[in-house]
Structure 1
């Protein structure tokens, strides 16, 4: 079981944590939402919770709660710039379908 970051995503997270002046890594999870059922949760983590599962990729810590891991196992998180837009892209091998707006997915 693993969650990984591309080098681009790891550099972006490391720069963001440096600018914030605090934080131990990135917290990733899922929540029930949208028309397809699940949506990603992504935030900077200021601490490690007792239930967190921890993965490290390119020197950046990724924290995931056990319930979310079943939906995220094998996911690679990328950070991409396309024209004027930039953001995280989830390469999740578990996804079977996504809603038309791209906000939610199902497994």
Structure 2
């Protein structure tokens, strides 16, 4: 794979300090890998990702997984985490397309 860019979901503050620290470490790794490859990284709020895929920012994980399976038929049966990652990719594609159309 040789991607041209990357996208990641913004995190929200967690009340559990240990979980927040672990999430911070994972997030740093997720941001570092594309940065070291010279790729631009876009960030999207969870509500924007859900709205882009489902049509509402208040969608739950099952709704996101359902729509991802419809938008990307080859992903049917993907885990909830994989569906979330694909949703970020779809939201990024939508944002990039809107940007190109506006230009």
Q: TM-score range by the shorter chain?
A: under 0.3
Q: What's the TM-score once normalised by structure 2's chain length?
A: 0.27
Higher helix share: 2
More relative contact order in 1 or in 2 (CA 8 Å, sep 6+)?
1
Structure ID, larger Rg: 2
Q: What's the TM-score once normalised by structure 1's chain length?
A: 0.26
Higher strand share: 1
